[in-house]
Amino acid sequence: MFFRQWLRRPLSIAAISPSSRFLARRIIEALPAGTRRVIELGPGTGAFTRAMLEHGIAGNDLLALEYNPELQSYLREQLPSIRVVLGDARDLPGNPEVRRFLDEGAVHAIVSGLGLLAMDRETQQAILAGAFELMGEDGAFVQFTYGPKVPVHPDVMAELGLQGERSGFTLRNLPPASVYVLRKRGKAA
Ligand SMILES: C[S@@+](CC[C@H](N)C(=O)[O-])C[C@H]1O[C@@H](n2cnc3c(N)ncnc32)[C@H](O)[C@@H]1O
């Protein structure tokens, strides 16, 4: 499924293979203590989604937002216990299913499987502004990257008042990858 989608839409997939279980473990380790309700952006074939369910996040407390309709219906079939919503991460607050999920309870973390590094500044800004609008000041945005630093343009970090901290790294992913946690400046890990 991943490779079929990669052949069709390489730019939006922005990865050469699905994330490994080792990278998924680094994502789980980056979740703040006590995290219960999570939104996942760009779940793809579900590498991080499955790890979160195995970690103990309840199906009802997990919403995955994917904008590729084939991946969305694939994941919906594979993981019927969670909400897999078709939508665009650039307009998180405008998505009715995301709003409904938020009405049911606060979201503590947003896990991003998006290829943020390959996205332009405006797209990064829209995604992160929407994410922190939903989570509030104490939210944590957990992002993987193949690069050596926070995969967000410094101007976007400054405009949104964000700081980034590398929380993990693994060689056992193709390519090797790091995980960063973005928070509002002054908010402790
Ligand atoms: C790099 S792949 C990662 C897939 C999976 N999380 C993993 O790590 O194996 C990026 C995923 O984000 C999705 N995506 C890209 N842009 C998106 C957007 N604006 N809104 C929602 N999903 C998006 C793609 O369709 C793809 O499934």
Domain count, the chain: 1
* Average pLDDT of the segment spanning 154-179: 96
Q: Determine contact, residues 179/146, Cβ cutoff 8 Å.
A: no
Question: Could you tell me the strand order of the sheet in which 140-145 lies?
Answer: 83-86, 62-66, 38-41, 109-112, 140-145, 177-184, 162-170
**Nearest residue (CA) to ligand 1, atom 15:** 12
Run of H or E including 141: strand 140-145
d(CA 128, CA 20): 25
Using most ligand atoms within 8 A of CB, pick from 45, 66, 128 the residue to mutate for ligand 1: 66
How are the residues of the chain apportioned to helix, strand and coil, as percentages rounded to the nearest 5?
40, 20, 40
* Average pLDDT of the segment spanning 154-173: 97
Band of pLDDT at residue 185, cut at 50, 70 and 90: very high
* Average pLDDT of the segment spanning 86-111: 97
Distance from the alpha carbon of residue 114 to the mean position of ligand 1, in angstroms = 4
pLDDT tens, position by position, 47-87:
999 999 999 999 999 999 999 999 999 999 999 999 999 99
Query: Is residue 48 a part of any domain in this protein?
Result: yes
What pLDDT shows up at residue 1? 74
Query: Is residue 189 a part of any domain in this protein?
Result: no
Mean pLDDT score of the chain, rounded to an integer? 94
What pLDDT shows up at residue 87? 97
Cα→Cα distances 44→50, 158, 176, Å: 11, 29, 18
Asked whether residue 12 carries a pLDDT value surpassing 70, the answer given is no
Query: Is residue 38 a part of any domain in this protein?
Result: yes
Distance from the alpha carbon of residue 45 to the mean position of ligand 1, in angstroms = 9
Query: Is residue 173 a part of any domain in this protein?
Result: yes
Query: Collapsing DSSP states into helix, strand and coil, what is residue 49?
Result: helix
Band of pLDDT at residue 9, cut at 50, 70 and 90: confident
Run of H or E including 75: helix 69-78
Which domain, by its residues, includes 174?
2-184
Asked whether residue 151 carries a pLDDT value surpassing 80, the answer given is yes
**Nearest residue (CA) to ligand 1, atom 16:** 12
Distance from the alpha carbon of residue 76 to the mean position of ligand 1, in angstroms = 15
CATH number at residue 33: 3.40.50.150
